[in-house]
Chain A
Amino acid sequence: MLSPESLKKIDHEIAKYPIDKKQSAVMSALAIAQDEKGWLANETMNFVAKYLGMPPIAVYEVATFYNMYNLEPLGEYKITVCTNLPCALSGGNDVANYVKKKLSIGFNQTTADGKFTLKEGECMGACGDAPVLLVNNKRMCSFMTNDMIDQLLEELSK
């Protein structure tokens, strides 16, 4: 189901907790699985559940609670724009609208070429850098302007 490298990473996470508390590693295990697969299919969650010895529904609870877990296939790049209050006051909605216009998609939609998916995000803990957006859960882009968005999209389009 998952590659030996991913399993090794998960084992590394499991080792951080007491032997009978394997399920503490569920969030990292899901993130590692998602890195490999791009999204979390039911089978993937089922596998993680078995691997950590927990009920599948308990894994599903975690996966549905956090926004960063993708429960459906997405484009190559997931762009998450924060629209919570501090970002919104600093132009978060404008950033979102600009990305929408630029890619001709709305929130939760994927471009026809399968390159980009746009998501509405919640506070990323970087209000001082507002407006912020996140690429594939890992790359934080701060103080976003239209020019910077053009640049970013061009870079990613290559």
Chain B
Amino acid sequence: MINIEIDGQQVSVPKGGTVMDGAKELGIYIPHFCYHKKLSIAANCRMCLVQVEKAPKPLPACATPVMEGMKVFTRSDQAITAQKGVMEFLLINHPLDCPICDQGGECQLQDLAVGYGAGQSRYTEAKRVVVNKNFGPLISTDMTRCIHCTRCVRFGQEIAGIMELGMAGRGEHAEILSFVGNSVDSELSGNMIDLCPVGALVSKPFRYSARTWELSRRKSISPHCGLGSNLVVQVKHNRVMRVLPRENEAINECWLSDKDRFSYEGLNSEDRLTKPMIKRDSQWQECDWQDALEFAVHGIKTVKEKYGAGKIGALTSPHSTIEELYLLQKLIRALGSENIDHRLRQSDFRLDSQLQGIPWLGTSIAAISELKSVLIVGSTLRKDHPLIAQRIRQAVKRGLQLNIVNPIGDDLLTDVTNEVIVAPNALVTTMAEILKAVTVIKNLQVADELKEVISAVKVTDIAHKIATSLLQENPAAIYLGNMAQHHPDYTDILVLVQHIAEAAEAQFGMLGEAANSLGAYLAGAVPGQVESAGLNAAQMLGNDLKRTSAPCQGYILMNMEPEYDSHNSQQALKVLKDAEFVISMSSYKGTASTYADVILPIAPFTETSGTYINTEGRVQSFNGVVSPLGETRPAWKVLRVLGNLLEFNGFDYEASEQVRAEIIPEEKDINGRLNNKLKSFVISVTDQSNTNLQRIGEVPIYQSDPIVRRAESLQVTSDAATPRAWMCSALLDKLNISAGDKVKVKQDQGEARLYAACDDRLPPDCVRVVSAHSDTIALGAMFGEILVEKL
């Protein structure tokens, strides 16, 4: 530690620290623009000039390393004169357009100009004008306002991992731009808007819609990925105008993914439901809540009398709050059914009877930053968990070895130590190879139930390298991504991962797909296992073809759009259309009228109080930030009234907090219930002689849940581009197709017409066709056999 003195106060700063670090420690504010705690030091705005004893001229606090006995003056005449001089130069070319600038009111330049700017400018010459750039649908530019701090450039290089913006030209002609007018496509691009200290980069969807001081700021939690990013939701006239990050170093740091930031547009979508609707004599009509609820209750009672309670099922999105999930399962169990599930995209449920606890991340999110070796299995990491990918990117810079086993070879924008790209049906074998490598290196005995699998595989070179990385670098962890969790051999993969982790003394877990993937287990939104086994999502939606019994006749759907949210969209729609009575509780109209009988408008996360439990088991409650739209009601209230109308006991809640208290009583620690381990499970040797084409059907980043699917600006980003049938060039040649050709893609009875595209990072004989997209919903399961024909 080095002792210095700033403005007469003593402070100790670690060796290599800067004057700025010391000042922050003391709570002394030094004006700055280019300095940002998460970015590298550029020292190009010069606003943080301070006086240092024995230095001949003012020094930039952000770039001056501390030295023993250094005396710094931040408010001395020399410092203030220097800062005022810098401000005068910054303002020379800065337009005086604060009244029409979106940054006005939250602008660092505006704020500091009040303190350091002169009342009048001495500059009478022409100001420079810089043409605006088109950076895509999310970022709006006013480049004349730019003060060249290069925060946006450094963010791209260091945090997003891809340098999309740069500073071209020199001196007077310097300007921020992208290469040949490319758009900024990073899934973290919105953070550049926050970082910009002036109004050069502002939010395009928010532009000119409100002044910042008119907005009220309310805390909330992101309803999308399992991370549970902390949000500030800004509201005007009972409408969500904008979403910003709320700093939480343990979760989202000071960042937000574009999905979390811009999806609010979906809350104000035209497609929002505002009134309950019922289908009477095949005619849809709007009605009041009383009629709708009575209609729903009557329908459910009829199904129960006609077919029995076992023919009633509930399917819910894991983006619902735990209160909603809990009441839904309470309702369905009170009806006498055990059929409830939230794992709509999962296809392999063999692990249900083997679970020892609630599957979770296995470590804290913050712990990812400390890892020395990590193995990620089956994940479109950058798209599904943009900020976890960001954490890993930073950890790689500090020496983390990143190992990947994946069916796709997408660029993670960081250094990958070892990578295995294999077809989906070879994932199990690859994991078995790694397990074998671990046991060989450590000279361990293989568990009996795995002997057959292990003896059937050889240790490949790459498996040996991954095993070595996990064994030698500590701490290590293995994470299963969304694709692994949706995989038809999920259980086998998990068992192998468990054994690898145990042998390598590593942590293992799942990257939570949705905001409440963990909370839904805790709330009991999973089929009963103990007394009478309930139907899981796949069975209820008729995906599990091995099962003989027919799926349900009565369905309660919550926040779910079957064509987008299920593993096999084709099958799910068919089952629901065939069912006798379907209640759809949803915030959106969607296509519910084609399969439902009652549609109940429920509130999205901004209009209800609730709780999400993120993938690391962190319980985060939030309040509604606006009042419900139209006659929309929070789902927990709807379920409470349904319970009352059905005359069940225990549905007399007055606040969502009471529901929460029933799920997680204050004194009870939920961490004890988190456990990824399975009881003994014999895994089967998969048959790889199958040479048919296989589908790789991940969920695209902006199709994952009903809100984001309706976020207009996100839907025109490059990440939301029209789906294509991606194949490696060898396969294209084999099928006599060229990239760009229109092809017919067939699966089960459904087909889709798409353009073929070439990606040589894909494994052979695999076709990557995304699921959950309107162009591909006619197809079947996310993984499985697929046919491609040239048109």
**Cα–Cα distance between A60 and B180 once the two chains are bound (Å):** 9
**Cα–Cα distance between A58 and B179 once the two chains are bound (Å):** 9
Interface-centre pick from A42, A45, A46, A56 (highest chain B CB count, 10 A): A56
A61 near B180: Cβ-Cβ < 8 Å: no
| Residues of A with C-beta under 8 A to B162 | 55
Asked if B168 is at the interface (CB within 8 A of a chain A CB), the reply is yes
**Cα–Cα distance between A60 and B176 once the two chains are bound (Å):** 11
A131-153 interface code vs B (CB 8 A; 1 in, 0 out): 00000000000000000000000
**Cα–Cα distance between A61 and B168 once the two chains are bound (Å):** 4
| Residues of B with C-beta under 8 A to A64 | 168-170
Q: Interface size bucket, B side?
A: 10 to 19
A40-51 interface code vs B (CB 8 A; 1 in, 0 out): 001001100000
Tell me the nearest residue of chain B to A55, going by C-beta: B163
| Residues of B with C-beta under 8 A to A42 | 179-180
B169 contacts which of A57, A58, A65 (Cβ < 8 Å)? A65
B163 near A57: Cβ-Cβ < 8 Å: yes
A60 near B170: Cβ-Cβ < 8 Å: no
Tell me the nearest residue of chain A to B166, going by C-beta: A57
* Chain A: minimal CB distance from B386 (Å): 19
**Cα–Cα distance between A91 and B733 once the two chains are bound (Å):** 67
B170 near A57: Cβ-Cβ < 8 Å: no
Tell me the nearest residue of chain A to B170, going by C-beta: A65
**Cα–Cα distance between A149 and B309 once the two chains are bound (Å):** 101
| Residues of A with C-beta under 8 A to B179 | 42, 45-46, 55-57, 60
| Residues of B with C-beta under 8 A to A57 | 163-166, 177-179
**Cα–Cα distance between A46 and B167 once the two chains are bound (Å):** 16
B180 near A58: Cβ-Cβ < 8 Å: no
**Cα–Cα distance between A64 and B174 once the two chains are bound (Å):** 9
B153-169 interface code vs A (CB 8 A; 1 in, 0 out): 00000000011111111
Give residues 48-96 of A contacting B (CB, 8 Å): 55-58, 60-61, 64-65
**Cα–Cα distance between A12 and B386 once the two chains are bound (Å):** 39
* Chain B: minimal CB distance from A43 (Å): 9
Tell me the nearest residue of chain B to A57, going by C-beta: B166
A97-117 interface code vs B (CB 8 A; 1 in, 0 out): 000000000000000000000
| Residues of B with C-beta under 8 A to A46 | 179
A58 near B163: Cβ-Cβ < 8 Å: yes
B167 near A61: Cβ-Cβ < 8 Å: yes
| Residues of A with C-beta under 8 A to B169 | 64-65
* Chain B: minimal CB distance from A115 (Å): 28
**Cα–Cα distance between A43 and B246 once the two chains are bound (Å):** 42
Give residues 180-198 of B contacting A (CB, 8 Å): 180
**Cα–Cα distance between A58 and B169 once the two chains are bound (Å):** 12
Tell me the nearest residue of chain A to B167, going by C-beta: A61
Tell me the nearest residue of chain B to A67, going by C-beta: B170
| Residues of A with C-beta under 8 A to B164 | 55, 57
A60 near B163: Cβ-Cβ < 8 Å: no
| Residues of B with C-beta under 8 A to A55 | 162-164, 166, 179
Tell me the nearest residue of chain A to B168, going by C-beta: A64
**Cα–Cα distance between A61 and B156 once the two chains are bound (Å):** 15
* Chain B: minimal CB distance from A50 (Å): 12
A-B contact pairs, 8 of them (CB 8 A): A55-B166, A57-B177, A57-B179, A58-B163, A61-B167, A64-B170, A65-B168, A65-B169
- Chain A interface residues toward B at CB < 8 A: 42, 45-46, 55-58, 60-61, 64-65
12 more CB-based (< 8 A) A-B contacts, given A55-B163, A60-B179: A46-B179, A55-B164, A55-B166, A55-B179, A57-B163, A57-B164, A57-B165, A57-B177, A58-B166, A64-B169, A64-B170, A65-B168
A-B complex: 9 closest residue pairs judged by Cβ atoms: A57-B166, A55-B163, A64-B168, A56-B179, A57-B179, A61-B166, A42-B180, A64-B169, A65-B170
